């Protein structure tokens, strides 16, 4: 299945924090045989969130959104998703009841438990703010531990398909193997082949849905560069 991952947060766009959430989500999805079409980072603005979420929802099987579910003025992701889906924001009684077992600030509880009408709330046992699912859109907190907890639950819904991966380390720089690598890419078009330069060496990643083709692509390149 095809996914689009959206990170919401001015703090990401300003470089104040590193966006590890998108990398975590993409890795998990890829290992289960899914495909990430795009990873998008957007500001804490209702109209921008609405526009990007709506467009993404129409162009992927599922959309995963992280960030902006807290209690401060810039936590507006729920409002953005509500606008994207044409829904009103309502107080989810189940989410509110769960929050009452974890905190006492009435204003904070009501803000975090207010989600788009028709959503399925995801209780957050790691932190506070609940996530929610509406249509093909799943929204999770931006705090990494909380996101990871919810993401691991969501993965059970999305299932998996065959995925196999091999890696090859080659000393030197990419120009040394460029022609030989391109020949393997041409021969194994059903295998995704990526080249990742490191200090003093290159990591070649082979991945795909057929174990034998992935292994043979790696073996072919090994034989060419020996």
Written in H, E and C, the secondary structure of 123-147 is CCCCCCCCEEEECCEEEECCCHHHH
Q: How far apart are CA 166 and CA 93, in angstroms?
A: 48
Mean pLDDT by 10 residues, the chain (226 residues): 97 96 97 96 98 98 97 95 98 95 92 97 95 98 97 93 94 87 95 92 94 96 90
Q: What separation, in Å, do the N-terminal and C-terminal C-alpha atoms of the chain show?
A: 38
What pTM was estimated for this model as a whole?
A: 0.88
What whole-number distance in Å separates Cα of residue 68 and Cα of residue 77?
5
What pLDDT does residue 90 have?
Answer: 97
**What local confidence, expressed as pLDDT, does residue 45 receive?**
98
Fold entry, domain 2-158? Molybdenum Cofactor Biosythetic Enzyme; Chain A (3.40.980)
Contacts 24+ apart (CB under 8 A), 88-92: 88/116, 88/117, 89/114, 89/115, 89/116, 89/117, 90/114, 90/115, 90/116, 90/117, 92/119, 92/121, 92/130, 92/132
Q: Give residue 92's pLDDT.
A: 96
CATH code given to domain 164-225? 3.30.70.2860
- Domain segments of the chain as ranges: 2-158, 164-225
pLDDT at 174: 82
pLDDT of residue 176: 82
């Amino acid at each position: 299945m095809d996914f689009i991952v959206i990170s919401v947060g001015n703090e990401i766009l300003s470089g104040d924090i590193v966006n590890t959430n998108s990398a975590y989500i993409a890795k998990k999805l890829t290992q289960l045989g899914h495909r990430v079409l795009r990873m998008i980072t957007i500001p804490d603005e209702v109209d921008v969130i609405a526009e990007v979420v709506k467009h993404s929802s129409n162009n992927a099987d599922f959309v995963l959104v992280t960030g902006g579910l807290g209690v401060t003025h810039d936590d507006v992701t729920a409002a953005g998703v509500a606008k994207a889906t044409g829904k009103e924001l309502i107080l989810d009684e189940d989410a509110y009841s769960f929050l009452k077992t974890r905190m006492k600030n009435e204003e904070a509880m009501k803000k975090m438990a207010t989600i788009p009408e028709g959503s399925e709330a995801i209780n957050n046992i790691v932190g506070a703010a609940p996530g929610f699912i509406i249509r093909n859109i799943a929204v999770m907190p931006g705090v990494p531990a909380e996101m990871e907890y919810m993401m691991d639950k969501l993965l059970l819904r999305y299932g998996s398909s065959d995925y196999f991966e091999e890696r090859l380390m080659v000393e030197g720089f990419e120009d040394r193997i460029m022609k030989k690598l391109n020949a393997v890419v041409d021969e194994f078009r059903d295998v995704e082949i990526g080249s990742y330069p490191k200090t003093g060496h290159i990591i070649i990643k082979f991945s795909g849905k057929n174990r034998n083709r992935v292994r043979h692509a790696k073996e072919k390149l090994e034989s060419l560069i020996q």
